[in-house]
Amino acid sequence: MADFVQHLGIGDYLREAGVPSDTTNFETAYSTLVGDPRGSDIREELETRIYEYFRSLEMPDSPTIYDHLLLAMRPKDVIATFNWDPFLLEAVQRNNRVLKGRVPALLFLHGNVAAGFCPKDRVHGFRGAVCSKCKEPMRGVPLLYPIAAKNYENDPSIAASWAFMKLALKKTFMFTVFGYGAPSSDTAALSLLREAWGDVEKRSLEQTEIIDIRPKEELAKTWEPFIHTHHYETHDDFFDSWIAKHPRRSGEAYWNQYMMAKFISNNRIPKGGSLEELWDWYQPLFEAEQSQGDERL
């Protein structure tokens, strides 16, 4: 967010709206606009610029972290993100050749430029794609800005994502936080997450994992409400996480190692290589799931 103003080329708009010229931080700039009724036109312009900016970005052909997350997780899993960029949804489209709809639940807790929603049927999907029920094109969902006081109930799509998130957090066994710094501007989000997680003393089996480059002590302090005693790990590299060391089997691997005291070996996601090679690598895992005959796997 720090250099977002520069990336978007919106410095002039902000100055026009009376935002002090030394404000380069998007968060501060946006908070100033929200507090000023004259700022609504500028805010609309800002939103258009953000959509255009993200639409102009392209994913490389080689596997990205988004491809890895989708391939390494199963439909019973949930990926919740605060990111507005379209990459996760673009990755769904390109990996669907092998995933065939068996993707984790995707929740965009602050909206997303590529996400669509049909409020009538409460169907989530791609922006502009046809709703599976009413066959009307799905409208986009709003982007929630980085200000402290967010209202998650105003938009039906975002409210539905949060409702699902709270339910998922209550039931989850492994909780992984990936590159999310829990900034003070997300006070509302964090208190909702904490509330859903509930009393940490009652989450005695759950494992919390944090993938972040910040020091371990700092991470443990930030995520304290989600960590039962010593039940956490931190990694500065995604490829050292349970998801990457045991793709599509992280829960089973963890349970076998720590609850059943079995020796298990890693089955690391291969690095390098093409997306097609990665798909081939995953085939035995997909086949094992299909042979179980359970779509929920």
Angle between helices 275-292 and 65-72 (to 10 degrees): 10
Q: What is the DSSP letter of 9?
A: T
CB of 24 to Zn ion, least distance (A): 41
Of 14 and 131, nearer to Zn ion (C-beta) is 131
Of 107 and 118, nearer to Zn ion (C-beta) is 118
CB of 137 to Zn ion, least distance (A): 9
Of 155 and 240, nearer to Zn ion (C-beta) is 155
Instruction: Report the DSSP beta bridge partners of residue 178.
Output: 211
Residue 124 neighbours by CB under 8 Å, 6+ apart: 106, 115, 116, 117, 157, 160, 161
Of 159 and 288, nearer to Zn ion (C-beta) is 159
Q: Applying CB under 5 A, which residues contact Zn ion?
A: 118, 120-121, 131, 133-134
Residue 231: count other Cβ atoms within 10 Å of its Cβ: 17
CB of 133 to Zn ion, least distance (A): 5
The beta-carbon contacts of 200-203 under 8 Å, at least 24 apart in sequence, are 200/224, 200/225, 200/226, 200/227, 200/228, 201/228, 203/228
Interatomic CA distance for residues 58 and 4, integer angstroms = 17
CB of 161 to Zn ion, least distance (A): 17
Residue 91: count other Cβ atoms within 10 Å of its Cβ: 23
Residue 289 neighbours by CB under 8 Å, 6+ apart: 74, 102, 248, 297
Of 66 and 117, nearer to Zn ion (C-beta) is 117
Of 91 and 138, nearer to Zn ion (C-beta) is 138
- Label residue 86 left, alpha or beta by phi (over 0 means left) and psi (-120 to 50 means alpha): alpha
CB of 138 to Zn ion, least distance (A): 7
CB of 162 to Zn ion, least distance (A): 20
